[in-house]
């Protein structure tokens, strides 16, 4: 009877030890999996942050380019307006000179006719 009790106790202890070892192994695997999951989450967060940073940089670059195009357009319009004003002044001056020249020729003709 004593041997049977010892055998039963020994068997119970072995089963408990095996169960504890299995639980310990499961806990280790769960901890490793949790670590891998956390690493994957951090990697994804890093990728998303980089992606967002690139998107912001691209938008900023596009905004700067649009501002440059707008400034260039305004500069071109101002240049064209200045050229047009210059041409208008030249035309006005030429018209005034032509009118004065016609008046002087008319006055010369009158002088010549009066002699």
Global pTM exceeds 0.95:
no
What local confidence, expressed as pLDDT, does residue 15 receive?
66
Interatomic CA distance for residues 12 and 98, integer angstroms: 127
Interatomic CA distance for residues 87 and 98, integer angstroms: 16
Q: Profile the chain (115 residues) by mean pLDDT over runs of 10 residues.
A: 70 67 82 86 87 86 85 81 85 88 86 78
């Amino acid at each position: 009877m004593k041997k049977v009790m010892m055998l039963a106790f020994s068997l119970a202890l072995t089963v408990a030890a095996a169960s504890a070892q299995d639980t310990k192994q499961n806990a280790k695997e769960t901890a490793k999996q949790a670590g891998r999951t956390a690493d994957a989450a951090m990697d994804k967060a890093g990728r998303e942050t980089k992606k967002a940073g690139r998107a912001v940089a691209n938008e900023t670059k596009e905004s700067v380019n649009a501002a440059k195009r707008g400034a260039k357009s305004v500069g071109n319009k101002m240049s064209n307006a200045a050229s047009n004003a210059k041409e208008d002044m030249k035309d006005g001056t030429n018209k005034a000179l032509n009118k004065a020249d016609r008046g002087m020729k008319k006055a010369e003709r009158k002088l010549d006719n009066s002699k």
